[in-house]
Amino acid sequence: MLLEEFNFKHEVLESAEPVLVDFWAEWCGPCRTMTPTLHALARDFKVCKVNVDKNQKLAGRYNISSIPALLIFKNGQVVAQHLGVTAENVLRADLKRAQS
């Protein structure tokens, strides 16, 4: 799910379940590398994407200075964060921990 400033609060901060948010850009090669991993995770978890070029204010709010930046939110708070290409098993373990 692509997020913008207007739906971020509802989809992420107010979500009853943990949410993996991928801060990315179209021109970012490592971001494209993460696509299969994110699709696999989206089968079991809520995964959202924020284009940093189109949502600079939102990216700034979370101090995103390099991408891909993968933040896991639970109850409106960041509970895990990874920068760069990250293995599916690492993200899956963090998401499972956030569910408990």
Distance in angstroms (rounded) separating the CA atoms of residues 9 and 5: 8
Asked if residue 77 belongs to a domain, the reply is yes
Instruction: Provide the residue range defining the domain that includes 69.
Output: 2-86
Here the CATH number for the domain that contains residue 75 is 3.40.30.10
**Which of 12, 19, 31, 38 is labelled catalytic?**
31
pLDDT of residue 100: 83
Q: Do the bridges between strand 2-3 and strand 69-74 make them parallel or antiparallel, or are there none, so unpaired?
A: unpaired
- The letter for the amino acid at 34 is M
- Asked if residue 41 belongs to a domain, the reply is yes
CA separation for the pair 93, 32 (Å, rounded): 22
Is-catalytic flag, 31? yes
**Is 48 a known active-site residue?**
no
pLDDT at 3: 65
- Catalytic residue selected from 25, 28, 42, 79: 28
Q: Which stretches does DSSP call E strand in 19-86?
A: 19-24, 46-51, 69-74, 77-83
Provide the pLDDT for residue 2: 73
- Does any domain span residue 95? no
What is the number of domains present in the chain?
Answer: 1
Sequential pLDDT tens for the chain (100 residues) = 676 777 899 999 999 999 999 999 999 999 999 999 999 999 999 999 999 999 999 999 999 999 999 999 999 999 999 999 999 999 999 999 999 8
